[in-house]
Chains A and B, each alone.
Chain A
């Protein structure tokens, strides 16, 4: 069922068993899990079914740290959320991503890879991947020309990515949500306050507002915030009537540990001889997977580096590509349009043709986690949006650890390429400077993580292992904001797995 909340009378009260705030990848995935439930599920979406400038304006914020994307277009504020301009890259996190690593401060999740594994095996369907199997051998059976580079697995390995079409949750699952008897979708319903009991141990109701100024209230047994890592932190901080520092923020952790994936061209690989490289080349129209090079857990530990991968793109092609940070538009509609064009190009089998000359030199492009850093953060500023909610300031901060790790990654890949007679690696100038400077073209994945970090200790995290906000017994967060570390891979598949796990927990809790 769908209701445009603006059609309801000012002050109306809505009641349900479970209230999911936000209808992006996480919110929709969770609602689908409850589609046949006897429980009444309230699904709130701040926008409508399409991108609208005035809704995007609510997401405006300032950025004062490392160069970053415009906050009003990096996130999408309508049904389907940021999947509206998602690129569709999927890979599960590695087991090491969840572990406490003594060389990575603030690392370690209270859950392990094995806790998420059964949910990864369900999540792949939501994003329309052909298989839950990310093993290279599976893909080699599909395409025998996908030959692996002869890496020593104790040092480096080939990590597989799969590509979602990409699934635009807003179009793919719209009918399923509208038809679901137990799910009541309210659009144009923006969360503006979370009201707790005086002890701040239980959410009594939330206040929702539409742009026309009308206010509504939602009561439920449990609330799940699924508005994205930045917006969730913003609303926890802004809900400060009962808790002056904001909800879940007794220890000044909400909004801290903002993390991204660093995406940046970093080196070249000059091949010693011609090789079959299909395993590592993008060819979306023919096969929706490819490999990237990664360091083994053993080598990461030995050399004290962060987790990341490097992709290989023929230099002749890569040198004509602009960095994402340089082309990403300030207008959300334009960002969607750009991704739609890219989707069409990907589906065209004539788009990518690699000539032998293309396979002589490869650009090595880094995707790497950022280390958890409490000084990298979002916080409320003085400006308010049209609904009176303070806007957000992003202070994205990187350290020398990230740069050192990327440099070491290529030194080690260079050693392995040399040992195996694959070729020679040349590291780019910017990476050789032993300082904390970053090139202008340093990009990120518009992956927002860590702002409501998961940790069993309330002094070190905002949510516990079940994504419940510490100290509040019915407030949960389904978001990449819960990530304790950023992991090597793009976050969407893990977000879905984490959300499905939370959903199971809530089913048990709510009976």
Chain B
């Protein structure tokens, strides 16, 4: 599935190119409470992608695109809850996502769904501008 939204005010190369491979949207009901929010926010919002590409703008873009296409998750609380609900090491979750094919393609990047959510959280924390 490829989604392009012409209303999204972004340059061509930043359009979301979005596919789902065995991806469960997994938007949690807001009533679900996180079992473990002991990790600092910055640590949760630290996708591997950032360390690989060393390009904050690109991570912000990926995060914004994710939020645009998953408006139910477009808030800190839901993202933090979703990312920590399984009380598992995020690195392991990312690896597991890749193994199971729970990936999304955003702006060309083949990302674990967990990692994409981390980008989304990162973009909320580091960007004041709404998209």
Chain A positions near chain B (C-beta within 8 angstroms): 267, 270-272, 410-411, 414-419, 421, 423-429, 432-434
Closest to A270 in B: B52
User: Which of B66-74, B77-85, B107-115, B123-131 interfaces with chain A?
Assistant: B107-115
Taking the closest CB of chain A, its distance from the CB of B30, in whole angstroms, is: 29
Contact with A along B93-115 (1 / 0, CB 8 A): 01101110101010111111001
Contact with A along B16-50 (1 / 0, CB 8 A): 01010100000000000000000000000000110
* Contacting residue for B52 out of A267, A272, A416, A427, CB 8 A: A272
Name 16 extra pairs, CB < 8 A, besides A411-B103, A415-B99. A272-B51, A411-B105, A411-B110, A415-B101, A415-B103, A418-B98, A418-B115, A419-B95, A419-B98, A421-B95, A425-B109, A425-B110, A426-B107, A426-B110, A429-B17, A432-B17
* Contacting residue for B2 out of A415, A426, A434, CB 8 A: A434
Cross-chain contact A427 with B101 (CB below 8 angstroms): no
* Contacting residue for B108 out of A272, A419, A427, CB 8 A: A427
A-B contact pairs, 24 of them (CB 8 A): A267-B108, A270-B52, A411-B103, A411-B110, A414-B103, A415-B21, A415-B103, A418-B95, A418-B103, A418-B115, A419-B99, A424-B48, A424-B49, A424-B52, A424-B53, A424-B111, A425-B109, A426-B108, A427-B17, A427-B109, A429-B12, A429-B108, A433-B2, A434-B1
Taking the closest CB of chain A, its distance from the CB of B104, in whole angstroms, is: 10
Taking the closest CB of chain A, its distance from the CB of B41, in whole angstroms, is: 23
Given contacts A272-B52, A429-B13, contact A424 B95 (CB under 8 A): no
Query: Cβ of B95: which chain A residues have Cβ within 8 Å of it?
Result: 418-419, 421
Taking the closest CB of chain A, its distance from the CB of B52, in whole angstroms, is: 5
The docked-state distance in angstroms from the alpha carbon of A439 to that of B53 is 26
The docked-state distance in angstroms from the alpha carbon of A272 to that of B109 is 14
The docked-state distance in angstroms from the alpha carbon of A432 to that of B99 is 22
The docked-state distance in angstroms from the alpha carbon of A421 to that of B92 is 11
Taking the closest CB of chain A, its distance from the CB of B130, in whole angstroms, is: 25
The docked-state distance in angstroms from the alpha carbon of A415 to that of B99 is 7
Given contacts A270-B52, A272-B48, A432-B17, contact A426 B99 (CB under 8 A): no
Query: Cβ of B98: which chain A residues have Cβ within 8 Å of it?
Result: 415-416, 418-419
The docked-state distance in angstroms from the alpha carbon of A419 to that of B49 is 13
Query: Cβ of A421: which chain B residues have Cβ within 8 Å of it?
Result: 95
Cross-chain contact B110 with A410 (CB below 8 angstroms): yes
Given contacts A270-B53, A423-B52, A424-B48, contact A418 B94 (CB under 8 A): yes
Query: Cβ of B110: which chain A residues have Cβ within 8 Å of it?
Result: 410-411, 414-415, 417-418, 424-427
Cross-chain contact B108 with A428 (CB below 8 angstroms): yes
Q: Which of B1, B12, B103, B107 has the most CB of A within 10 A?
A: B103
Query: Cβ of A415: which chain B residues have Cβ within 8 Å of it?
Result: 21, 98-99, 101, 103, 110
The docked-state distance in angstroms from the alpha carbon of A272 to that of B112 is 15
Query: Cβ of A428: which chain B residues have Cβ within 8 Å of it?
Result: 108
The docked-state distance in angstroms from the alpha carbon of A433 to that of B19 is 11
Cross-chain contact A432 with B94 (CB below 8 angstroms): no
The docked-state distance in angstroms from the alpha carbon of A432 to that of B106 is 10
Closest to B107 in A: A426
The docked-state distance in angstroms from the alpha carbon of A421 to that of B1 is 26
Taking the closest CB of chain B, its distance from the CB of A49, in whole angstroms, is: 50
Cross-chain contact B2 with A411 (CB below 8 angstroms): no
Closest to A425 in B: B110
Query: Cβ of A429: which chain B residues have Cβ within 8 Å of it?
Result: 12-13, 17, 108
The docked-state distance in angstroms from the alpha carbon of A71 to that of B106 is 40
Taking the closest CB of chain B, its distance from the CB of A399, in whole angstroms, is: 17
Query: Cβ of A417: which chain B residues have Cβ within 8 Å of it?
Result: 110
Taking the closest CB of chain B, its distance from the CB of A237, in whole angstroms, is: 41
The docked-state distance in angstroms from the alpha carbon of A414 to that of B108 is 10
Given contacts A271-B52, A411-B110, contact A432 B101 (CB under 8 A): no
Query: Cβ of A272: which chain B residues have Cβ within 8 Å of it?
Result: 48, 51-52
The docked-state distance in angstroms from the alpha carbon of A272 to that of B47 is 12
Query: Cβ of A410: which chain B residues have Cβ within 8 Å of it?
Result: 110
Given contacts A418-B103, A424-B109, A433-B2, contact A411 B21 (CB under 8 A): yes
The docked-state distance in angstroms from the alpha carbon of A267 to that of B99 is 20
The docked-state distance in angstroms from the alpha carbon of A424 to that of B53 is 9
Closest to B18 in A: A432
Taking the closest CB of chain A, its distance from the CB of B59, in whole angstroms, is: 11
* Contacting residue for A432 out of B2, B53, B103, B111, CB 8 A: B2
Taking the closest CB of chain A, its distance from the CB of B49, in whole angstroms, is: 6
Query: Cβ of A432: which chain B residues have Cβ within 8 Å of it?
Result: 2, 17, 105, 108
Query: Cβ of A426: which chain B residues have Cβ within 8 Å of it?
Result: 107-110
Query: Cβ of A416: which chain B residues have Cβ within 8 Å of it?
Result: 98
The docked-state distance in angstroms from the alpha carbon of A423 to that of B48 is 9
The docked-state distance in angstroms from the alpha carbon of A44 to that of B38 is 81
The docked-state distance in angstroms from the alpha carbon of A416 to that of B112 is 11
Closest to B103 in A: A415
The 3 closest A-B pairs by CB, nearest first: A414-B110, A432-B17, A418-B98
Query: Cβ of A418: which chain B residues have Cβ within 8 Å of it?
Result: 94-95, 97-98, 103, 110-112, 115
Q: Which of A267, A272, A415, A421 has the most CB of B within 10 A?
A: A415
Taking the closest CB of chain B, its distance from the CB of A269, in whole angstroms, is: 10
The docked-state distance in angstroms from the alpha carbon of A411 to that of B53 is 18
Query: Cβ of A270: which chain B residues have Cβ within 8 Å of it?
Result: 52-53
The docked-state distance in angstroms from the alpha carbon of A432 to that of B101 is 18
Closest to A426 in B: B108
Closest to B2 in A: A434
The docked-state distance in angstroms from the alpha carbon of A410 to that of B48 is 19
The docked-state distance in angstroms from the alpha carbon of A44 to that of B9 is 65
